[in-house]
């Protein structure tokens, strides 16, 4: 397997979208109730946090720290 560059921003975005998917899958299965508007702050907040992590990571790598 080829090695690739670790990108923590993509990890954060993937986690946020996975959590949103799990919430709605649990709601569809009848395990709990999830309001329809839950995905908006979760996804937007997760993407904002992923962008911030990406900017910080880019800054660290540009300075030669990693």
**Gap between the Cα atoms of 13 and 15, Å rounded:** 5
Q: In this predicted structure, what is the pLDDT of residue 65?
A: 59
pLDDT score of 1 more than 80: no
Write the pLDDT tens digit of every residue in 4-56.
Answer: 888 999 999 999 999 999 999 999 999 999 998 999 999 999 999 999 999 99
Instruction: Name the phi and psi angles at 55, rounded to 5.
Output: -65, -45
**Gap between the Cα atoms of 43 and 19, Å rounded:** 9
Q: In this predicted structure, what is the pLDDT of residue 12?
A: 96
- Within 1-66, strands assigned E span none
In this prediction the pTM is 0.83
pLDDT score of 64 more than 80: no
Q: In this predicted structure, what is the pLDDT of residue 66?
A: 55
């Amino acid at each position: 397997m080829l090695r690739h560059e670790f990108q923590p921003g993509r990890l954060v975005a993937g986690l946020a979208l996975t959590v949103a998917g799990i919430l709605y899958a649990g709601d569809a299965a009848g395990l709990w109730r999830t309001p329809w508007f839950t995905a908006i702050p979760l996804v937007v907040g997760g993407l904002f946090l992923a962008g911030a992590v990406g900017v910080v990571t880019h800054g660290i790598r540009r300075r030669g720290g990693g």
